Amino acid sequence: MPAVFFVFRDAPERRAALRAQEALDRYRLFGLDEIRARGAHVHHNLERAGSPALWTRVTARVVGQMLRLVGGYGGDFASVLASLRAANAADVVFATTDTVGIPLILLKRAGLLRPPLVYAAIGLPERLEQLRSRPLRRLYKSAFRRASTIVAYAESEADWLRTWLAPRAPRVRFLPFGVDVDAFAPGSAHVEDVDVVSIGADPRRDFELLGVLAERHPELRFAIIAASDRARSIGGVPANVSLETDVPLERVRERLAGARVVALPVQHNSYSGATTVLLQAMAMAKPVVVSRTDAIARGYGLEDGMNCRLVEPGDADAFERALLETLANSHTLGSRARKTVERDFSWARYTEALWEILSAAWAPEPS
């Protein structure tokens, strides 16, 4: 069986997920448990205790400053360099986010990373479009063409990367994200005590639009759960809006269970469609009103009026109409949403597809 090396962005919530043996937050590990359960020898870059060595931190700082000076993108070079020896001992390396993926792909181009690299892109087009010079664009194209496979969780992002890297693009695969349909399931134990719930840590969440709708409808109760830095940028909220920050996923699930409708307004972008919360809410048979961003417009089986309500980003009036209509008649929308997720977007289906991608990367090509 292969040795697979996962490379994560270092964050407190990810380290907490790694410490927990059984927890909802294990999805933050992008399938590590399921790949290990298949018999693979799995390791990751956060196994190392303490800070990287001084030479690693200095080298990472110098490389990062050089890239910024010429208008390029770097990332967490310190974590990547500190785990480079362990990564090179693996049969395949899986970069789970761009923060660690960009350093890895540049090291791959430099010949310092030897195993095949599977790269998960999350908002990569926005970064690559801002490269300031033609030589820099050539450098990054050359680097990304050395990936074994690039995975995108949005079909639109996969299409963009194939075009940008043509004519010598590596394998670029759209991999729909998934949700644990057993952990997020309909239940009768919770009372629906809030009219509208909106949840998300992504900076693209349009909580301001939701605040406008709350002001228009003081008779409705709204609840927002956001990351603390995003919450600070929201400013004041109307009296009928409760705002919580940095709550555990168990609390998120409780909030979803207590919602009559889940509202997910998102600003225009290529990678964020509130996908994780969207799938969690749908799995719980909750009616969802969500912005039709490129990330979810194709590939997630969403049909306006059938299993969710889709609204153009930034259109407060259209979002308001869809929200009020859904509050008035929500039952069939939620049950169809649950069926969609059970059929096509379970966590088991996601990890099965990830295993196929990793296996194809390390397995020798047929002669």
Question: Are residues 240 and 288 both part of a single domain?
Answer: yes
Strand 241-245 relative to strand 194-200: parallel, antiparallel, unpaired?
unpaired
Task: Report the distance separating Cα 266 and Cα 301, nearest Å.
Answer: 18
Task: Report the distance separating Cα 266 and Cα 21, nearest Å.
Answer: 33
Question: Are residues 154 and 268 both part of a single domain?
Answer: no
∠ Cα 242 302 9 (to 5°): 60
Residue 367's pLDDT is 40
Which range is least confidently modeled, 146-150, 225-229, 308-312? 225-229
Question: Are residues 263 and 355 both part of a single domain?
Answer: no
Strand 3-7 relative to strand 41-44: parallel, antiparallel, unpaired?
parallel
Residue 246's pLDDT is 85
How many structural domains does the chain have?
2
Specify the 3-state DSSP secondary structure of 40: coil
Token code pair at residue 272? 């964020």
Is 107 inside any structural domain? yes
Eight-state DSSP code of residue 363: S
Exposure class string for 174-199: b at 16+ Cβ within 10 A, else e: bbbbbbbbebbeeeeeeeeebbbbbb
Residue 188's pLDDT is 60
CB 268 within 8 A of CB 290: no
Question: Are residues 340 and 211 both part of a single domain?
Answer: yes
CB 280 within 8 A of CB 179: yes
pLDDT tens digits, residue range 336-363?
999 999 999 999 999 999 999 999 998 7
The confidence band for 190, taking pLDDT boundaries of 50, 70 and 90, is: low
Question: Are residues 315 and 279 both part of a single domain?
Answer: yes
Is 212 inside any structural domain? yes
For residue 66, what is the domain's CATH number?
3.40.50
Output the average pLDDT for the chain.
92
Question: Are residues 331 and 353 both part of a single domain?
Answer: no
Is 189 inside any structural domain? no
Question: Are residues 133 and 166 both part of a single domain?
Answer: yes
Is 187 inside any structural domain? no
Residue 20's pLDDT is 84
- Domain holding 50, by residue range, is 3-178+347-362
How big is the chain by its Cα radius of gyration, in Å?
21
pLDDT tens digits, residue range 238-290?
999 999 998 889 999 999 999 999 999 999 987 888 999 999 999 999 999 99
- Put simply, whether the predicted model's pTM sits higher than 0.85 gets the answer yes
The candidate with the shortest Cα–Cα distance to 34, out of 356, 367, 348, 357, is 348
The confidence band for 365, taking pLDDT boundaries of 50, 70 and 90, is: low
Is 183 inside any structural domain? no
Measure Cα distances from 81 to 9, 33, 342 in Å: 13, 24, 40
Question: Are residues 63 and 160 both part of a single domain?
Answer: yes
Which range is least confidently modeled, 53-67, 90-104, 116-130, 145-159? 53-67
CB 18 within 8 A of CB 338: no
User: Is 235's pLDDT higher than 90?
Assistant: no
Contacts of 203 (CB under 8 A, 6+ apart): 230
| Residue whose tokens read 């390390």 | 362
pLDDT tens digits, residue range 51-101?
778 878 888 888 888 888 888 888 899 999 999 999 999 999 999 999 999
Question: Are residues 201 and 264 both part of a single domain?
Answer: yes
Strand ranges, E, within 1-69: 3-7, 41-44
The confidence band for 227, taking pLDDT boundaries of 50, 70 and 90, is: confident
For residue 201, what is the domain's CATH number?
3.40.50.2000
Phi, psi (rounded to 5 degrees) for 64: -60, -40
| Residue whose tokens read 């090291």 | 107
Q: What does the chain come to in residues?
A: 367
Question: Are residues 327 and 352 both part of a single domain?
Answer: no
Question: Are residues 162 and 224 both part of a single domain?
Answer: no
CB 195 within 8 A of CB 260: yes
Question: Are residues 55 and 112 both part of a single domain?
Answer: yes
